[in-house]
Chains A and B, each alone.
Chain A
Amino acid sequence: MENVSTNGVLTHLSQLEVRARSPGGPETQRSRVKELRAEAEELRGLREQLKAEIRALKDPCFRQHLQELRSSADPRPSEDPPLLQMMCRQLDLKDLLHGHHLIGGLDAVQTRQGRAVCVSLQTTYEGVFLETFNLELELKPRVRIGRHNIPPFVPLQSLAEQSRLQTDPGAFLSTLSQHLNAFVGRRRQLQLVKEQHASVEVMESNLPCSILVLLFTAQTEKAAVLCTLEYSDHGSRLPGRVVLDCEDKQLLKSPEWRSCCATLMKTPVHRALARMKKSSLIL
């Protein structure tokens, strides 16, 4: 208001004009005020909630209640207030779901009002949790594979047919999980070979890690040995065929080398190589 008295009528009119034309015109300003008021109220609510939580956390009786809720092994006595019983049920359900997720390696969530299921498939190798793959299964009108991020060399359609996807989606997911875990396991073995065995050269490998060609040096005469591992069963982490090749044919006929062939068929490659090094078969 002081502007009017200090700057004169014309200035004042031009200011009004500017304000009317600018995005901060009276209408939009009012809605902005509304927005801000709502935001402020929400934040005040959040602040009060946090204050209440902190007060509760500082209260020893509250902490005791929390401990009891989390550690009760037996079903709670029925004299407990219904709210407490419902809370225990929620905690139990969450733990059961967590259990399912860990043992099955899959997390299934219904989407699109029950018309589809989104599944996250976990992979692990030697106890370490590795990457997760996702797949959507449309349930109606028939069970059908929808969107997914599964590598293209995994034969989804034929796996679906083999495991009767229509009648038993669980069996399909179990087979798919096996294939994904096998692929990730083979890939991890290759990584470990590169990390742990610098003296072994990786000559060839492919995307699904179903072929591996290694070059190692035998202790005897420092002969070069070429080893081909073929993983014909893509659902397995062990090779179906092992072929050893060396210029010195006699070397491979020795009992140690024959048994090493057998070891390579039954043991993950990085561990087999470690054994071969330990028994001084290779450098």
Chain B
Amino acid sequence: MAAMLEKMGAENADEVKMLEGHIEHLKAEITSLQHQKEEIDRDAMFHFKGPMLDALLIVCRQTRDKDEEVVMSKLKEEVEELEKDLRLQTEMNGIIVENCKIKTLFRSEGKWIRQVCVSLQCSHMVFQVDFQVSETKEGPTSEKKVIGLNVVLDSDDLQNCSGFLSRVEESLDLLLLFRTLRNFSDRCDERSRTFQHLQEKFPSVVSLPGGCRSEVMSLRHPELPGCVVFIHWAVDIFTEGTVAPKINLLTKISEKALELFPSQPVDGAAEAFQSLLRILGPEAAVECVLRSVSLSQGDNVWGEKQLKQS
């Protein structure tokens, strides 16, 4: 028994030594292979790992010992995880990234420059942003910066933002750009919802000459064709990306009508509206004007009453 134990002990010790030696040898081989790979793949295009790597080897027929079905199901799992992440990011950012193309423009030892083209949708606004990012690595320190920024617009809404956009393109402030565009889009949505709601509520008085996404709403009483009140609701962008609505009331009243009525209520209308805005806020103030234009008392709107009677 003792002899057997001793024999096993000695064999184990020998095997341990042999295995340890073998492992050292393998580690050295692997390091050299990794260097070889880095040498060949200078563009670092080949940074696939896990199921993607296996899939690539299968597709290019470089391997025979990977089971295609197993790799496919693992890859599908990875894709589902990524789709979950994308939904989360979209919710957090409040912007839909429709397309993102990243191209390496330049790569050398420790430095690379990439071109990024993103197509985005923010509520009703669709636009494209192109920018270049450079990354430099020198030992432990690394620096990443935006070196070019260009906003290409597809949306009519953003015509008034050209000042802000050129400032932000100059200051290369990516984050400010997107935060501001998101806030701007929210404000435009708020305006559009209010206009639409009021048009549905007072169909004979309200008209939206430019559609519900435009800046102008016109109010006129059906029996007084020469008198129109315009609400101009602009959304302005200030320095540092502050977004705020600027609402003005404009009246267009025919000469004859002006002769019949004292001018004060008409002239003072715009100023009075500004006070109303400060007290009630945009939606309530506009609705107030609407009610007075429609000459309604309380909740019965003149236009609707006529319709019901006929």
Contacts and interface: CB of A to CB of B under 8 A. Distances in A.
A185 B90 CA distance: 26
Instruction: Name the residue among B46, B92, B133 with the largest chain A CB count within 10 angstroms.
Output: B92
Contacts of B22: 40
A106 B173 CA distance: 15
Nearest to B34: A50
Given A50-B33, A90-B79, A98 B72 contact: no
B100 to A, nearest CB: 3
A100 B97 contact: yes
A82 interface: yes
B13 A96 contact: no
A112 to B, nearest CB: 14
Contacts of A110: 84-85, 88
A101 B46 CA distance: 22
Interface string A122-156: 11101111000000000000000000000000000
Contact of A105 (B94, B97, B175): B175
B230 interface: no
Interface string B63-95: 100001001100110110011111011111111
Instruction: Name B's interface SS.
Output: helix
Contact of A83 (B75, B91, B100): B75
B129 to A, nearest CB: 7
Contacts of B16: 29, 32-33, 36
Given A53-B46, A104-B92, A109-B85, A82 B147 contact: no
Given A103-B97, A178-B179, A50 B37 contact: yes
B30 interface: yes
A174 B75 contact: no
Given A29-B9, A83-B55, A93-B86, A54 B94 contact: no
A129 to B, nearest CB: 4
Contacts of B71: 83
Interface string B4-45: 011111101101100110110011011001101100110001
Bin the interface of chain B by size. 35 or more
B75 to A, nearest CB: 5
B57 interface: yes
Interface in A43-83: 43-44, 46-47, 49-59, 61-62, 65-67, 70, 73, 81-83
Given A36-B23, A95-B101, A103-B129, A26 B45 contact: no
Contacts of A52: 57, 62-63
B182 A95 contact: no
Contacts of A169: 91-92
Contacts of B20: 36
Contacts of B133: 102
A109 B26 CA distance: 36
Given A1-B10, A24-B13, A97 B89 contact: yes
Contact of B26 (A43, A86, A177): A43
A124 B175 contact: yes
A90 B78 contact: yes
B143 interface: yes
A16 interface: yes
A108 B88 contact: yes
B40 A87 contact: no
B260 interface: no
Instruction: Name the residue among B29, B52, B97 with the largest chain A CB count within 10 angstroms.
Output: B97
20 contacts: A16-B5, A26-B8, A29-B16, A39-B23, A40-B26, A50-B33, A52-B63, A53-B46, A54-B33, A65-B59, A66-B45, A86-B76, A102-B174, A103-B97, A103-B120, A124-B146, A127-B149, A170-B91, A174-B182, A238-B239
